[in-house]
Amino acid sequence: MNGNQRVLIIGFVWPEPNSSAAGGRMIQLIAFFKEMGFEVTFASPAMDSDFMVDLESLGVIKKSIALNCSSFDVFVKELNPGIVLFDRFMMEEQFGWRVAENCPDALRMLDTEDLHSLRLARQKAFKEKRPFSTDDLLVEDVAKREIASILRSDISLMIAEYEMELLKTVFKIDAALLYYLPLFLDPIEESSTQNLPSFKERENFIFIGNFLHEPNWNAVQYLKETIWPLIRKQLPDAILHIYGAYPSQKVFQLHKPAEGFLIMGRAKDAQEVVRKARIVLAPLRFGAGIKGKLLEAMQCGTPSITTTIGSESMCSDLPWNGKISDDAETFAVKSVLLYQDENLWLKSQENGFKIIEKCFLKSLYKDHFMLHILNVQTNLKQHRLHNFMGTLLQHHTLTSTKYMSRWIEEKNK
């Protein structure tokens, strides 16, 4: 097989599709490359985890790599991939210069997942009790690293249109370096929508999300302290199931059966528990990217109540799969209304199916994405020539990071 048909993915962690939307996204990208006839190698410096996917069963070569070690240079030169995909900017920082030095003709692609700097700047503004401004991004240290990584890459995959706009307007990134590729899904067959539990067969509210992700933990606290008591005032017997991977002791301390607030921990099958619930609650007060939990709710025919940030970049100009509110009182009122009104619930469910059909079907993106990759590969010299800031950063990073890394390597000996 020639190098052009080899893809090397360098992962921040081994993919855990049942733990987070990021894990699911990575499995989608692997499946896409496999479908297009590429040989896929997934490499990571992370430790193995109990919940990681079995890569070999997906026909993917698994390789453990070390940080600050020239053994990677030998490995990547031998593999000689045509495409290297960095899973988040931290991996591009660590290994991008080594790839550029050893495989200069490989297309370097960055999967941003979501803009970390946007999430962190919003979190900071929230904690300081003030509105977020795009100027906050300009002073966010992570933004300096993240933007540098985007500039050094040939293509950066973006999952949210709002984030693409921010990059173009706030950071003046050339649109030629960005490619919109949201989470994508297979079409929902009519037969499977007919097999979904009905309004009357479903009960309870649900929240689901990885607890290592700060916006999720904050949303659970907000539910416990503010929103859930307001819902229970109107629905005294209501029950809320809180599911999520990696719950800590502080999460389990919120478990209060007498208040109908139940911490369930990791879900064995996330789709199954979401399908059985009547409503998904997601009062996210900061964050970025597409929310996997809300897309999953749409797939399961489960309406959701979320915030403006929760629904951001998710439904184009279509009505939401439920209700949107940034005010706790209104959030609670709308939650109760949607829980009790079958007609409104069915309309919301239908909205979710329409959003998937218009915004998230794999068929909308697959062929165009492949053509874009081939086009950039074919014109790679020209593409890089027009990205002067990227080559400038590549030059300086290569020099500074290279010697820092070599120094660490020597020190480790």
The 10s digit of each residue's pLDDT in 122-141 is: 999 999 999 999 999 999 99
Hey, is 9 helix, strand or coil? Answer: strand
Do 241 and 207 form a contact (C-beta atoms < 8 A)? yes
What long-range pairs does 369-372 form, CB within 8 A, spacing at least 24? Answer: 369/32, 369/179, 369/181, 370/36, 372/155, 372/179
The stretch 286-297 carries a mean pLDDT of 94
Hey, is 124 helix, strand or coil? Answer: helix
Hey, is 173 helix, strand or coil? Answer: coil
The two structure tokens encoding residue 380:
């790679």
Residue type at position 106: A
Compute the distance between CA of residue 33 and CA of residue 273 in angstroms, rounded to an integer. 30
DSSP letter at 325 equals -
Q: What is the pLDDT of residue 411?
A: 77
Q: What is the pLDDT of residues 3-16, one digit of tens each?
A: 578 999 999 999 99
Hey, is 279 helix, strand or coil? Answer: strand
How far does Cα 161 stand from its chain's mean position? 13
Radius of gyration of the chain (CA): 22
Compute the distance between CA of residue 9 and CA of residue 83 in angstroms, rounded to an integer. 8
CB atoms within 10 A of CB 130: 10
Q: What is the pLDDT of residues 234-274, one digit of tens each?
A: 999 999 999 999 999 999 999 999 999 999 999 989 999 99
- In 78-228, beta strands by DSSP E: 83-87, 107-111, 155-158, 178-180, 205-208
Compute the distance between CA of residue 361 and CA of residue 253 in angstroms, rounded to an integer. 40
Nearest of 78, 83, 76 to residue 99 by alpha carbon: 76
Q: What is the pLDDT of residues 13-56, one digit of tens each?
A: 999 988 788 888 999 999 999 999 999 999 999 999 888 999 99
pLDDT greater at residue 380 or residue 399: 380
Q: What is the pLDDT of residue 23?
A: 86
Compute the distance between CA of residue 364 and CA of residue 369 in angstroms, rounded to an integer. 9
Nearest of 272, 221, 222, 275 to residue 248 by alpha carbon: 221
Structural domains of the chain sorted by starting position, each given as residue range(s) with its CATH number in brackets: 3-181+365-412 (3.40.50.2000), 190-360 (3.40.50.2000)
Nearest of 27, 33, 45 to residue 6 by alpha carbon: 33
Q: What is the pLDDT of residue 3?
A: 55
Residues with Cβ within 8 Å of 310's Cβ and at least 6 positions away in sequence, in order, are 282, 283, 284, 287, 291, 294, 304, 324
Dihedral of CA 80/86/91/92: which sign?
A: positive
Taking phi first (over 0 means left), then psi (-120 to 50 degrees means alpha), and beta for anything else, what does residue 125 get?
A: alpha
- Cα-based angle 292, 109, 374 (whole degrees, multiple of 5): 110
Cα dihedral 52, 253, 208, 320, rounded to 10, equals: -150
Range with the poorest average pLDDT among 16-25, 62-71, 170-179, 239-248: 16-25
Do 346 and 199 form a contact (C-beta atoms < 8 A)? yes
The two structure tokens encoding residue 24:
């699911």
Q: What is the pLDDT of residues 391-405, one digit of tens each?
A: 888 877 766 667 777
Q: What is the pLDDT of residues 181-240, one digit of tens each?
A: 999 988 887 667 778 999 999 999 999 999 989 999 999 999 999 999 999 999 999 999
